[in-house]
Amino acid sequence: MNVKQQINEKIKEFPTIIIHRHQSPDPDAVGSQLGLASIIKASYPDKKVLTVGKQYQGFDWLGKVTEASDDDYQNALVIVVDTANQPRVDDNRYTKGKYLIKIDHHPNDDQFGDLMWVEPEASSTSELIYDLFAANNDLKMPDNAARLLYAGIIGDTGRFKYSSTSSHTFEVASKLDEYHFSITDVAQTEDAIDVAQARLAAYVYEHLTIDENGAAYVILTNEVIKDLKLGDDSTSSVVPLPGNIGEVVAWAIFVQQKEGNYRIRLRSKGPSINELAKEHDGGGHALASGAKASDDDEIKQVVQQLSEVVKQYKKENN
């Protein structure tokens, strides 16, 4: 019995399934979480399926999470999707269930759960959820689940342009397109930004610093976010923007939190930046990672290290 079949057997075993994802979610986190919930509900209507985590208005079009009481965890199967390390799990009650499963596509540096299914070569966790469905004949795929998984895949592949996109990714996307939903509507909704986000994009391009190596960064302080009438959850739309500049090889976006520290979004066109992220309380993929900076001094340190990473990469690759 392979791991996908083992997961389905565990789903069959438990009357209550509670699904978690990571904090400050992206379309893949939300899509894989709600998509899996939709598949389980359609396949096993008698089961209680709950999805937890902070609800962000920007993801209302995908769906909304549910409420779970402490009692719900007593005899529950807990599944954590798209979350590399435990501190990033949204809602720390994920350890309160009877059995814990981790499904993820990030490097498995933090191994947790009674059962783990981690495939770092996959484009997204949403792709893995489709593979879970395809491997078990008794699982059913509602149209909305297909929509959710497709949204997660195009979100994490940057509309199929990132290196994690494989022939299997295209195969899965093609299979999902056979269901009744509009791939055009999904793509247009994910691409849509409001006026405040458009002004933020202009701010990023105007204030982006690019050094001689091609390392770039921008700092979004609480004051900037407040002036633009944004929240931290609204800054994710600008993360890919520096990559549109030809001279930029890797970049960091520092987003100040209410407590004063900074969340760092790291991206790269070639150099591996996940080891740098690990040095600053983070991690992730080689070309897409997250980290933290406590103050201005740590920001300067990250900027310098990023520049060195890019410099070394260019030296090794002529």
116: three-class secondary structure by DSSP: strand
Give the separation between CA 27 and CA 75, rounded to whole angstroms.
29
Domains (range + CATH), the chain: 3-191 (3.90.1640.10), 195-316 (3.10.310.30)
Q: What is the pLDDT of residues 253-284, one digit of tens each?
A: 999 998 999 999 999 999 999 999 999 988 88
Torsion of CA 289, 201, 234, 162, to 10 degrees: -40
- Judged against a pLDDT cut of 90, whether residue 235 lies above it is answered with no
Give me the pLDDT at residue 116, please.
97
Segment 189-217 mean pLDDT: 94
For the chain, how far is it from start to end, CA to CA, in angstroms? 47
User: pLDDT band at residue 231, thresholds of 50, 70 and 90?
Assistant: low
Q: What is the pLDDT of residues 82-118, one digit of tens each?
A: 998 899 899 999 999 999 999 999 989 899 999 999 9
User: pLDDT band at residue 233, thresholds of 50, 70 and 90?
Assistant: low
- 8 Å CB contact between 218 and 208: yes
Q: What is the pLDDT of residues 28-52, one digit of tens each?
A: 999 999 999 999 999 999 999 999 9
Q: Which two tokens stand for residue 200?
A: 């933020």
